[in-house]
Structure 1
Amino acid sequence: MKHVVAAIQMNCELGNKEGNLQKAQTLIAQALEQQATLIVLPELFNTGYRVEEQDWQYAETIPGETTEFLQRMATQHEVTIIGCILERGEIGGTIFDTAFVIAKNGILGKYRKTHLWDQENLRFNRGDALAVIHQEDLKIGLQICYEIGFPEGARILTLQGANVLIYPSAFGEQRYYIWDTASKARAIENGCYVIAANRSGIEKQSTQFGGKSRIIDPQGKVLVEAVQEDECIVATIDLQRVIQQRREVPYLRDLNKAIFHPSE
């Protein structure tokens, strides 16, 4: 029940898919050297975040160019890779901010961001579903960036069985206090691991990303945190500790669901 997991922190060049994918590949290789079998990339890692004037140009289908690029690595090295890109919707002209899970045998699932930050409401459509994605004994709950401040999504995913919560992010430095507290809180209140892979660098001379990607245990302890602009951080997680923590602090057992879902 132990897994070596990695979070990738990286600065991206706006609109340079080829360059960003090559950088991601280099950082993934570092994770592989450390025997990681689950690797998480930041939000919109392949295009950069502030491409709002060209969202449609850079958006892809899933499967598509970026997922196929990652699929080759996942298959070759028998690992699981989680990324997040601009996705073209089924209805022409619609775009979603979408995370996905890729394993050696293909795309296991995807999640479209349901809570949009500020101007994202003008760029993207909202997703409307939460689901836990199973990869052997890992039960992966996907959220994206801003959603780290919404406990509801994390709790729903946990009640659906998630034992690790994943946050591909492009979280701003200005609100580090939220990133720091909320990431630990999501781990503690759900008794699970949190892997939060954040962007670094600055875009359009105004948007400064906060970095500090981190892997957090079920007690809210930061096992490892990134300190460099481009960095791969790695930790070993033990899913037995999820069970132990949920028995020692039984928030999930004691949750009074009737209050939140009263009978009509």
Structure 2
Amino acid sequence: MKKWGEFMREQISVALVQFAPHEFTAKEKNVSYMVDQIIALGKQGIDLIVFPELSVSGFFRHEPGGKLAYWEKGAEDLDGESSHRIITAAKEVGVYVVFGLAERLARPVEMYNTAVLVGPGGIVGAARKMHLPLYEKFYFTSGRLGTVLHTPLGQIGLAICYDMYFPEAIRILAVNGAEIIIAISSMWKGGDKGGVGLIGSKERIFDITPVCRAMENQVYFLSCNGCGRHDMGPMLGVWERLGNSKVVDPLGNILAVADCNRESVITAVLTREVLIKGRSAFGFLADRIPELYSDLIYSQVSK
């Protein structure tokens, strides 16, 4: 059986592309932008490129008939045309890419909010968003984060936006061998700017969470958020994203961070040496006592 240290490459160059996706009726603009970024960054020697949540599809508009319109014009199969265009670009420059799309299920008008990892050889794997906040419940079906994905770069786990606020979900990826956990998101500012939470406190928790998840799980944590604004339709109005994408190492050091709400590309170098150093400094994974945590499943909360 292979051990974790044999998987992660000695050095990996990563890029997080923080941008504002167009809405689903113009998703071809998103894909064209992403392909251009993949080619340019691949030629600069980047190994792994990450885009935000629903970077292909854009978000829905919450209005009468909105789900059907989104399913027809925004969603597509996991191996659909957009994925193939991204894979073609990844193959051309020899990189791995993580992106988000609304994935069609076999049943009509049902969709997952999906994160996809592709490489030069095609689709490596995918994760479906588990925790669906607010209005996302009306559009998406709750999924699973999926298994840890084996790549020549290392062991990679995928999460999506709201999932990162649930430590149990991220811990599952870590105990299953993830060395790099990538959370793609479209995190909103909160309050009247959209999404869960209050303005101010939402900024603080989103600023702190990637650092906590990296340290407590002794992994590299890549948090790629969208930026800009999105018209959620006449029922909800215009929402604003937080930006603030980050790369955090297993010791909690922030290696790169994006502007709060501007389009930008941030880069960092991940090393096996720091991963080993982080796991030798703290014993959070080794010192777990899972048999004592049954209350997480069998809650005794009084009614």
Classify the TM-score, shorter chain: over 0.9
Alpha carbons 2:35, 2:85 under 8 Å: kept:
no
Does residue 25 of structure 1 match 2:35?
yes
Of 114-123 and 18-27, deviating more is 18-27
Matches within 5 A, 1:70-109: 70-109=86-125
Q: Deviations over 1:195-254 (max 9, x none)?
A: 111111011152100111111111111111112622211110012322221111110111
Give the residue type in structure 1 aligned to 2:56: N
The match for 2:4 is: none
CA distance in 1: counterparts of 2:145 and 2:165, whole angstroms: 18
TM-aligned CA distance change 1:236 to 1:151, over 3 Å = same
Match of 1:48 in 2: 58
Q: Is the 8 A contact 2:154 2:179 kept in 1?
A: yes
Given candidates 211, 219, 223, the residue that maps to 1:192 is 219
**In the alignment, which of 207, 212, 222 is matched to residue 244 of structure 2?**
212
CA deviation after TM superposition for structure 1 residue 25, in Å: 2.4
Greater mean deviation of Cα atoms: 137-146 or 51-60: 51-60
RMSD over equivalenced CA pairs, Å: 1.7
How far, CA to CA, are the matches of 2:269 and 2:40 in structure 1? 15
Counterpart CA distance in 2 for 1:32 and 1:143 is 23
Match of 1:176?
A: 203
Of 245, 257, 261, the residue aligned with 1:225 is 257
Structure 1 unaligned segments of length 5 or more: list them: none
Amino acid at match of 1:235: A
1:127 is paired with a residue whose SS is coil
Q: CA-to-partner distance for each residue in 1:103-148, whole Å, 9 max, x for gaps?
A: 1111011111111111111111011353101112411111001111
Could you tell me how far apart the structure 2 residues matched to 1:61 and 1:50 are?
17
CA contact (8 A) 1:148 1:182 kept: yes
2: CA distance, partners of 1:115 / 1:4: 30
Q: Choose which of 291, 296, 302 in structure 2 pairs with 1:258.
A: 291
Query: 2 CA distance for matches of 1:90 and 1:185?
Result: 37
Does residue 7 of structure 1 match 2:16?
Answer: yes
* CA deviations over 1:139-167 (Å, ceiling 9, x no partner): 11110011111111111100000001101
Contact 1:195-1:216 within 8 A present in 2 as well = yes
The unaligned stretches of length 5 or more in structure 2 are: 1-9, 191-201, 232-236, 299-303
2:228–2:240 Cα contact (<8 Å) kept: yes
CA offset digits 1:64-87 (Å, max 9, x no partner):
011101000111111101111000
Q: Which moved more, 1:5-14 or 1:240-249?
A: 240-249
Distance in 1 between the 2:70 and 2:252 partners?
A: 36
Report what 1:67 is aligned to: 83
Aligned-pair identity in percent equals 29
- Quick one: which amino acid aligns to residue 56 of structure 1? W
Between 1 and 2, higher relative CO (CA 8 Å, sep ≥ 6) is seen in 1
Q: Which moved more, 1:241-250 or 1:142-151?
A: 241-250
For 1:33 and 1:223, the matched residues in 2 are separated by 22
- Alignment partner of 2:138 out of 122, 146, 154: 122
Is the 1:31–1:234 contact (alpha carbons within 8 Å) kept by the matching residues of 2? no
Distance 1:61 1:238, change over 3 A: same
**DSSP-derived class of the 1:252 partner:** coil
8 Å Cα contact 2:14-2:48 kept in structure 1: yes
Structure 1 residue 33: Cα displacement: 4.0
Query: Could you tell me which amino acid in structure 1 is paired with residue 19 of structure 2?
Result: M
Bigger mean CA offset, 83-92 vs 44-53: 44-53
Question: Does structure 2 conserve the Cα–Cα contact (< 8 Å) formed by 1:30 and 1:232?
Answer: no
| 3-state SS in 2 of match to 1:250 | coil
Structure 1 range deviating more: 252-261 or 37-46: 252-261
Work out whether residues 41 and 82 of structure 1, in 8 Å CA contact, stay in contact via their aligned partners in 2. yes
CA-CA distance at 1:21 after TM superposition: 1.5
Displacement of 1:90: 2.2
Residue 179 of structure 1 and its aligned partner are, at CA, apart by 1.0
**Distance in 2 of aligned mates of 1:121 and 1:11:** 22
CA distance in 2, matches of 1:129, 1:37: 23
The size of the alignment, in residue pairs, is: 263
Go from structure 1 to structure 2 and tell me whether the alpha carbon gap of 1:71 and 1:111 turns closer, same or farther (over 3 Å shift). same
Q: Is the 8 A contact 1:27 1:231 kept in 2?
A: no
